[in-house]
Amino acid sequence: MNVLVTSVGAATSIGVLKALRLSQNREFFFVGTDSNQKEFSCGSAFVDFFYTTTNVKLSLESYENELLQIISQHKIQCVIPIHDLEIEAISKICEEYPNITFWAVNSSRIVELCNDKQEINKYVENLGVKIPKMFSRFEKIDSFPVILKPNRGVSSRDMFVANNFAEYQFYAQLVKNEDYITQQFVQGEEFTIDCYSSYRTAKFYGGVVRKRIETKAGISTKAEIVNFPLLLELSENILNKMNFRGASNLQFIVSDNVPYFIEINPRFSGAGILSYQANFNSPLFTILEANNETIPAFDELKIKHHLKMTRYWNEVFYE
């Protein structure tokens, strides 16, 4: 199968490619794209053919034309977008060209909802799931600490934690012209739930829970697969109500045994490789559906609970 994976310079893309390489009884031809040139996109070493594409933030039209050309030239049968901004763009492109390939992406409506933290928090709260308290920008906050974060941010970048009102005023002034939200900062254990929902039926297929032990730049560097049925149940309810399709990852913080929803990403996750190794190979599920094959029934007993992961740097050299 000819598969296009975008943003191959990201850890998320490399994890997806590694997961598909685990399927030794299948043959893949991988095309990778990135806004960086080959020598500065480490994932280029994991694909058979690489293209530098226009940064989607600079020109959506150029990005779209380049993408369509690559799909046509290499007879791409499945497109797996990775970066949040690309996912938004591709969710719109696939609505214009629905039949030229299998687009592993949700509708633009669902993608936009997931990427708008304020709206998705309201949506989830209406389903009866607890969220950290949200504060109006001009409201006097009397409960600290609070966190200020971009409403459409990526990972944990550009976030600020204010421990008192003076700090809050300082950070609020710092980002006054930006689209930020303010929420109660909940202290507890962080969990990511890697999930998959059928593209055909939009029904929840299954998921695994990762306990985030250590993170760097918003991506887990140390983590463990844990058995936490409540978080799976909450995730299933949210995704089914949304009619979500494909891979997703939801984040919760558990404080005093109470789960608080933090966010949902409509894509594979940066540390998803741990879930794939734990026998939840959601990239392969995507390929099976793209090829009109049936996904094997989910078997909770095959999940490797307590599997642990730690990461280290690895270099790729180009001449």
Report the C-alpha dihedral over residues 289, 299, 268, 308, rounded to 10 degrees. -150
Looking at residues 205-227, what average pLDDT do you find?
Answer: 91
User: Is 218's pLDDT higher than 80?
Assistant: no
What are the pLDDT digits (tens) for 267-314? 999 999 999 999 999 999 999 999 999 999 999 889 999 999 999 888
Residue (of 208, 303, 307, 275) closest to 18 by Cα position: 275
3-class secondary structure, 177: coil
CA torsion 44-45-47-52 (nearest 10°) is 20
The whole-number pLDDT of residue 312 equals 87
Task: Retrieve residue 249's tokens.
Answer: 């990852």
pLDDT band at 153 (very low <50, low <70, confident <90, very high): low
Q: Which CATH class is domain 2-105?
A: alpha beta
Beta strands 246-255; 189-197: pairing state: antiparallel
What's the CATH architecture for 112-119+187-310? 2-Layer Sandwich (3.30)
* Alpha helix ranges (H) inside the chain: 11-21, 60-73, 84-96, 108-115, 117-126, 165-174, 229-242, 272-277, 282-290
Q: Do domains 2-105 and 112-119+187-310 have the same CATH topology?
A: no
Domain ranges in the chain are 2-105, 112-119+187-310, 141-184
pLDDT digits (tens, 9 = 90+) for 59-98: 999 999 999 999 999 999 999 999 999 999 999 999 999 9
Q: Which pTM was predicted?
A: 0.93
What per-residue confidence (pLDDT) applies to 155?
55
Per residue in 198-213, pLDDT (tens digit) is: 999 999 999 999 999 9
pLDDT of the residue at 138: 61
